[in-house]
Structure 1
Amino acid sequence: MEHEVRITLRLPADLHEWLTTQAKSARRSLNSEILHRLEAGRGNISTDDQSP
């Protein structure tokens, strides 16, 4: 990434738990999992198991 911005994000507890579980399954940090999903949704990456 060229430039990073830190944000505070509020998530429902059940969504946080689900994302955490998905991140662990993919051997990614929670931050990397969220980035991966956002980029995949935006069409920047394939939806395979590769880390961003």
Structure 2
Amino acid sequence: MDEEKRITLRLPVDLHAWLVAQARTARRSLNSEIVHRLEAPGATVADAESP
């Protein structure tokens, strides 16, 4: 990423908690986890494990 843009994002509490847990498991920051999931090939809005 050459440029970055900062945004404010509102998430349901349960989704936030799930993303935090996933990020910890992968040893990533919450921001990195979100970017990783959005950039992943075949990324979907939700998977079978997401709240």
Q: TM-score range by the shorter chain?
A: 0.7 to 0.9
Q: How does 1:1-52 map onto structure 2 within 5 Å?
A: 1-40=1-40, 41=43
Higher helix share: 1
1:47 corresponds to which residue? none
Aligned pairs, how many?
A: 42
Q: Deviations over 1:22-44 (max 9, x none)?
A: 000000000000000000118xx
Moved over 3 A (4+): none
Structure 2 segments unaligned to the other structure (5+ residues): 45-51
Q: Which has the higher contact order (CA 8 A, sep 6+)?
A: 2
Identity of aligned residues (%): 71
**In the aligned structure 2, how far is the partner of 1:24 from the partner of 1:17?**
11
TM-score, structure 1 as length reference: 0.77
TM-score, structure 2 as length reference: 0.79
